[in-house]
Chains A and B, each alone.
Chain A
Amino acid sequence: MSPVSTDIRRGRAPLFFILYYLYVWLHVRPDLVYHAQQPVFFEGKAFLVDFLARPGGLTEYVGAFLLQLHYYPWAGALFVTAGAWLVYRLTRALTGVGGWRSSPGWPFIPPVLLLVLHSRYSYALHLDLALLGALLGALAYMRVPLRRVAARWCAFLVLSVLLWYTVAATYLLFAVLCGIYEAANARRRLLGLSYLACVPLAVLAHGAALQIVQADAWLLQFPYYDLYQSSGPVLLVTGALLYIFYPLAVGGEAIRQRLPGLSLLRPVAPRRGSDAASAVWALGFALLAVVPAFLLFDSDARALLELDRGARHAAWERVVEKGADLREYDVLAVYNIQQALYHVGELPERMFAFPVIANAPVISPNTLEPGSLAALSHILYELGSVNQAEHMAHEALEILGDRPSLLQRLVLINILKGRAPAARVFLGRLEKSSLYDKWVEHYRRALDSGSPLSGNAELSRISSLMPRSDSPGYLPAEVLLRLLLVQNPKNRMAFEYLMAHYLLTGQPEKIAEGIGHLNDYPEHYEYPTIPTHYEEAILLHMAGLRSQGGEDPQLPLHGRKIRPESLQRFEDFRRILRAHRDDRDAARRELAQSHGDTYWFYFAFSDPPPVQASAGPPPPVNPQQ
């Protein structure tokens, strides 16, 4: 009975892979992988041809297609688990060839390493396929019933061409495995060495085929190197372990036999036991194996992805809830939280209870954070600044590729701009991604009707917020928000974002000025009292005036009053601050506990301290279209 069937019979492998599946499905969550990568896959020859034109492109194409499965978490988990199971089967077979037939735990190691890789969210699925291809090729070579050296060389050559084309640089694993097999296991050293010599040749050939001209781009050929560049060392180290495992597995027994000192390392065959004992063993091994996956699991990335996914799907309450638990954050998370706070009506109440980007405009494009450009496009869109939303969406589209979510945004933007033919082109592009059939059909019908805004409350609402007269220029956040508000004083989002901008950039005096706006359009600004952060800014501003003039300033609060509890809290803040007059750190520590969610705390302790944001330089120029 083969080791695999033994594993299956004893329940080791099935139990292991059932747990594996559940872990991927429920803990890693393939839908978050899909959201992180938003794989671009289009039907049609034109999309395929680009892939076929380069080595490894076929695997990337299939990988991009299969990554669509991650849209449905259960299906994505099933595919990842099936891939891991195939790797397990191939590993078992290869370690058998290498003489480690009696080591039942070893074949589970690659699936565990793959689990670590899949837990990092930026891992490219096609690398699984490439690995499978290389292992399958190596096994096929080892089992080919040819004895003559020339015949084996021919088999190697045929498989080399096939694999080099389909899996690109992962082919190197195949060549190394075949070389080790021949040299160490099959005692055909010259043949094996000739295979190993193919490795540098393949690297050169691959580079030439890719038409690489930069010296530093050669490394990009290797699996995981580009991921290392974008995602850090965990992927690279784990990938390296995965690729080192196989040469050791195939050549290990031969090395051990040649080095008597290593004989002690001979693995111990498991004793025969009951099926129940085997199941317990499998469970224990699975739990043990999952430890590195747990330890290396990128929980911060998952939290940020959940947040972003929630924001893109307008699950605002969930975004606020998740935002409260963040351990780390980035610009994208801050944008998402502030957008969510606006939607749940708490932006002027709780903004400083969440992470903020200190002393920065409330919206600020940064091409170094392409994910934030997509979020920024969404925010600008909701603000009614459709032209600026269009600009950001195009920036993101250029940097991130033709992601369906960006194509959807551009469809809506072009509808709003009355540019139906352009909307149709983006729909046509999106249509080639079959997951969005219904969405495409809905908007195509709307366009066919000739009045796509009618019956669409969201589009109609955004349309009502759009500026009607042109204000050309390079518009920094404050100017843009003021402009939107001047053109449409009922644009509550623009008002709250403008106020948030004043708060973030240390302009409390403008908050006081903005209070009058609430009274002008009461039906659109249903705040029962002055919102908390606005009260905090007004109190801060009054304190500043008092310290300059010595008299109690009279601020035009338009009949509104500062709540007593806010006054009391401000007094408490000042008292604690005075008590630690000589020890700023102590003041910060104590106030973080009692007043960490206030504007006063942000104003006093943010680093860098808030000052009025400058307009900033204009963006780089590429006027060639």
Chain B
Amino acid sequence: MTGRHSVPVLLGLSALAVALNALCGCAPSIDAYEAAGRPPSIDPAYTGAVIPANIAPLNFTVREPGSEYLVEVYGSSGDHIRIASSGPGIRIPISPWRELLEKSRGTEIHFDVYVRQGEGQWVRFDRITNTIAPDDVDGYLAYRLLKPLYNKYVNIGIYQRDLHSFEETAILENNRADRACLNCHTFPNNRPDPFLLHTRSRHGLTMLVARRDTVSTVATQTEFNSSPAAYSSWHPSERLVAFSVNKVSLFFHTVGETRDVFDAASDLALYLIDSNTLTTTAGISSPDRAEVWPTWSPDGHYLYFSSAPVLPIERFDEVRYSLMRIGYDVDSGEWGKLEMVLSAEDTGLSITQPRISPDGRFLLFCMADYGSFPVYLSSSDLYLMDLVSGEYRRLGINSEQADSWHSWSSNSRWIVFSSKRRNGLMARPYLSYVDVRGKVHKPLLLPQQDPAFYDSFIRTYNVPELIAGPVQIDSRALARAVVAPERPLTARLDPRVRVTAPSPK
């Protein structure tokens, strides 16, 4: 048993040697090789993708048998990175990688993979080419990590990853916060400050609003809504937050995807931060319809959301959400007209999780066979609507498994989404480049330092959100706000809101 522990040490030393070799340009040169006549099998499949110039090295594993491996990475600038390895894991040194990407912005970079078969001949595989996008992706990705498929939560954390490197830090882990459930971290305009998240623990059901060094704790239940806030969206002015209140229940399948969610009733409301007031209107809180997944248009004039007629749970697979929007004037607080944007009757599918690009041009959303919770539905795919023409299309980046939980970068040129395409169970974050014409390019799995990271990582990436910089607030302040909040607020209900029907509970 102990003998195996020398393996990681030896591998580490080998990697160090390889890195030094690569840095000083003294990796073994290959004078003779055979051409494989095909591209190599590598994992993750970083081939034919458009990648941001500010991404960490695309470390990968060569899925070809061999005793030695050599990879050359180069671009049109003439810079070369050579990585020699005795194993199939290829780790690209970060400094030359950054330099190469910066010089190759807007052009292609190539990977030449050589594999030595046994003690004999080297084989060269066909060149792999990726394109460096002219536009950067936001520098950080915030996400929640948790294990799939459970009700009892013990270890949940919200983390942020520096996309320029492999550094991951915890924004808040629930083992610091009395094992509270943490969910729905939400940022305005891709900025890390302010931000909000929701918590559920023995200390209560609350919304945390973190701004600079302070954290406000808000109990959002009122006479209108006995359920707390759930899925949220900041208004671009940062003066208010739209959120849903839901009555969700779990149920299980005996075949296929195990878990499913049914939303028996839901409404939308606004939380006005300065006045600590909750308000709503009949158009987004109809008792005979379930409204969910609010998102603001970048100009703040419209609230987009999903809406479906309320049906009993026995007809769960008939519930299909339409995409709607309602006007709102943030200065006067006046509501505008309720409009149908895309009807489920027309699509035959359920439309959820609308997200609008910051430039206001595109609307990205999920469509699945039924329901409001696409991450559990393998039929969930991403669709893009051109808000100028109103036309929409299914994206070519979809997979056979659930593709959902998407968000935009601040420059509208990148999207990130969670996909279960690798194994059908654990979602992984993918980045896709969206060019000015709205073409969405082949997605790129978030690179990790360990090329085989995803082969043994059993947590799922949930709600990936791109942010321009790191969340700075101390996780202790957030934890304290969960466990022992100072001066917690209780939202007041706008007196103009008439409560006429039982709210979701």
- Do A and B form a real pair? yes
**Which segment, of B106-114, B257-265, B338-346, faces chain A?**
B257-265
* Residue contact B1 to A419, C-beta cutoff 8 Å: no
Contact with B along A594-625 (1 / 0, CB 8 A): 00000000000000000000000011111111
Q: B256, B423, B460, B479: which has the most chain A beta carbons within 10 Å?
A: B423
* Residue contact A424 to B248, C-beta cutoff 8 Å: no
**Which segment, of B19-27, B88-96, B177-185, B429-437, faces chain A?**
B177-185
A459 smallest CB distance to B (angstroms): 17
A72 smallest CB distance to B (angstroms): 9
Q: Is A432 an interface residue (CB 8 A)?
A: yes
Bound CA span A247–B147, Å: 45
Known contacts A422-B423, A621-B261, A624-B181; 4 further A-B pairs (Cβ under 8 A): A398-B152, A470-B256, A480-B254, A624-B144
Q: Is A421 an interface residue (CB 8 A)?
A: yes
* Residue contact A432 to B255, C-beta cutoff 8 Å: no
**Which segment, of B68-76, B352-360, B451-459, B488-496, faces chain A?**
B451-459
Contact with B along A361-400 (1 / 0, CB 8 A): 0000001000000000000000001011011001101110
* Residue contact B424 to A421, C-beta cutoff 8 Å: yes
With a cutoff of 8 Å between Cβ atoms, the chain B residues found around residue A261 in the complex are none
20 contacting pairs across A/B (C-beta < 8 A):
A45-B8, A68-B1, A214-B178, A214-B483, A387-B254, A387-B258, A397-B147, A397-B458, A421-B422, A425-B458, A428-B452, A431-B456, A435-B1, A468-B255, A472-B316, A618-B249, A618-B251, A623-B376, A624-B181, A625-B460
A445 smallest CB distance to B (angstroms): 15
Chain A interface category by residue count: 35 or more
Task: For B453, give the chain A residue with the smallest CB separation.
Answer: A46
* Residue contact B258 to A390, C-beta cutoff 8 Å: yes
* Residue contact A424 to B455, C-beta cutoff 8 Å: yes
Bound CA span A623–B251, Å: 11
With a cutoff of 8 Å between Cβ atoms, the chain A residues found around residue B130 in the complex are none
- List the interface of chain A (C-beta within 8 A of B): 43-46, 68, 211-215, 367, 385, 387-388, 390-391, 394-395, 397-399, 402, 414, 419, 421-422, 424-426, 428-429, 431-432, 434-435, 466-475, 480, 483, 618-625
Q: Which of A43, A434, A620 contacts B151 (CB 8 A)?
A: A620
* Residue contact A621 to B249, C-beta cutoff 8 Å: yes
* Residue contact B260 to A422, C-beta cutoff 8 Å: no
Q: Which of B146, B151, B422, B475 contacts A619 (CB 8 A)?
A: B151
B395 smallest CB distance to A (angstroms): 22
A332 smallest CB distance to B (angstroms): 17
Given contacts A213-B484, A214-B178, A395-B152, contact A422 B424 (CB under 8 A): yes
Task: For A48, give the chain B residue with the smallest CB separation.
Answer: B8
Given contacts A213-B177, A428-B456, contact A624 B183 (CB under 8 A): yes
* Residue contact A398 to B254, C-beta cutoff 8 Å: no
* Residue contact B150 to A419, C-beta cutoff 8 Å: no
Bound CA span A473–B288, Å: 23
Chain B interface category by residue count: 35 or more
Given contacts A390-B258, A467-B254, A625-B375, contact A419 B176 (CB under 8 A): no
Give the contacts of B122-177 with A (CB-CB under 8 A).
144, 146-155, 176-177
Bound CA span A395–B146, Å: 12
With a cutoff of 8 Å between Cβ atoms, the chain A residues found around residue B144 in the complex are 624
* Residue contact A432 to B456, C-beta cutoff 8 Å: yes
Task: For B463, give the chain A residue with the smallest CB separation.
Answer: A624
Task: For B249, give the chain A residue with the smallest CB separation.
Answer: A618
Bound CA span A421–B454, Å: 11
Given contacts A399-B152, A414-B425, A467-B255, contact A213 B480 (CB under 8 A): yes
Bound CA span A467–B252, Å: 13
With a cutoff of 8 Å between Cβ atoms, the chain A residues found around residue B460 in the complex are 625
Task: For A432, give the chain B residue with the smallest CB separation.
Answer: B456
A479 smallest CB distance to B (angstroms): 10
B196 smallest CB distance to A (angstroms): 15
Bound CA span A618–B313, Å: 13
With a cutoff of 8 Å between Cβ atoms, the chain A residues found around residue B181 in the complex are 622, 624
Q: B424, B460, B484: which has the most chain A beta carbons within 10 Å?
A: B424
* Residue contact B458 to A429, C-beta cutoff 8 Å: yes
With a cutoff of 8 Å between Cβ atoms, the chain A residues found around residue B337 in the complex are none
Bound CA span A426–B425, Å: 11
* Residue contact B457 to A474, C-beta cutoff 8 Å: no
In the A-B complex, the 4 residue pairs with the smallest Cβ-Cβ separation, listed nearest first, are A428-B456, A421-B423, A422-B423, A394-B149
Given contacts A44-B8, A213-B479, contact A425 B456 (CB under 8 A): yes
Task: For A618, give the chain B residue with the smallest CB separation.
Answer: B249
Bound CA span A398–B183, Å: 17
Bound CA span A470–B317, Å: 12
Contact with A along B444-480 (1 / 0, CB 8 A): 0000001010111110101100000000000110011
B400 smallest CB distance to A (angstroms): 11
Q: Is B38 an interface residue (CB 8 A)?
A: no
Bound CA span A434–B457, Å: 17
Q: Which of B178, B183, B252 contacts A387 (CB 8 A)?
A: B252
A624 smallest CB distance to B (angstroms): 4
With a cutoff of 8 Å between Cβ atoms, the chain A residues found around residue B316 in the complex are 472
* Residue contact B462 to A474, C-beta cutoff 8 Å: no
Bound CA span A483–B254, Å: 10
* Residue contact A475 to B252, C-beta cutoff 8 Å: yes
Q: Which of B147, B249, B455, B463 contacts A398 (CB 8 A)?
A: B147
* Residue contact A425 to B251, C-beta cutoff 8 Å: no
Given contacts A213-B479, A432-B456, A624-B462, contact A619 B250 (CB under 8 A): yes
B336 smallest CB distance to A (angstroms): 31
